[in-house]
Amino acid sequence: MSSSSRETIFTNLRAALPESSPLPDLPPSGPWQTFDDPFARFCEVLGTVGGDCQRVATIAEANDQLAKIEPYQAAKVKVSVVDGLGDSTIDINAIEDPHDLENVDYAVLRGHFGVAENGAIWVTDDTLKHRVLYFVPQHISLVIPASQIVNNMHEAYDRIEVGKHAFAGFISGPSKTADIEQSLVIGAHGARSLTVFAVDEL
């Protein structure tokens, strides 16, 4: 394709673009959606997207509950970055190439807070050496303080410092897709299950 043909195509496309609309004029502070019991709503929504929420008083209690989870019992390769919760069969600090973590069956990781309206958990790369652990294990558990549940994404973004982390994001439930014939598939691109331990003592 010649440059003149390409320019003709782009010119025609630009001419066919609809008139842009101005961005909505959002109020700087609400009113946003809130809940009488944000934690209950967080667990409810997390359940609808395939996750499981367990509230426990202590890390020791979380450890007892983790030991009952079937995928954890069956896991051969485990990683935990939470002291006192689960165990590790490999030392991730001794691993330099994240590709070497492709066979992790179960990972226990930290989150910072949850969002009630969508069951999401804010995670950042400063809590572990290899961020791929949020995505490559077959199953993951995230640990958050039970007291740190915000109502909505507006409140969530108020807590986030943009640019502070090389990687950060929200995780809501296990991996899933419904692209193929509208059939929901859990574990399509990442973890097949997600359990959130909301710990009172943290």
In this structure, is residue 153 part of a structural domain? yes
Question: Can you give the pLDDT at residue 1?
Answer: 65
3-state secondary structure (DSSP) of residue 113? strand
**What total number of domains does the chain contain?**
1
* Region label for 106, one of left (φ > 0), alpha (ψ between -120 and 50) or beta (otherwise): beta
In this structure, is residue 111 part of a structural domain? yes
In this structure, is residue 140 part of a structural domain? yes
In this structure, is residue 25 part of a structural domain? no
Nearest residue to 81 via CA among 39, 137, 8: 137
On whether the CB atoms of residues 48 and 119 are closer than 8 A, the answer is yes
Nearest residue to 171 via CA among 41, 46, 35, 34: 46
In this structure, is residue 20 part of a structural domain? no
Question: Can you give the pLDDT at residue 135?
Answer: 92
- For residue 186, the enclosing domain spans 33-199
Enumerate residue ranges in the chain where pLDDT < 50. Answer: none
In this structure, is residue 28 part of a structural domain? no
Question: Can you give the pLDDT at residue 138?
Answer: 95
Q: Greatest CA span in the chain, whole angstroms?
A: 69
Question: Can you give the pLDDT at residue 175?
Answer: 86
The CATH number of residue 64's host domain is: 3.40.50.10420
Question: Can you give the pLDDT at residue 149?
Answer: 97
3-state secondary structure (DSSP) of residue 53? strand
The whole-model pTM stands at: 0.83
Question: Can you give the pLDDT at residue 173?
Answer: 85
In this structure, is residue 18 part of a structural domain? no
Question: Can you give the pLDDT at residue 125?
Answer: 93
In this structure, is residue 90 part of a structural domain? yes
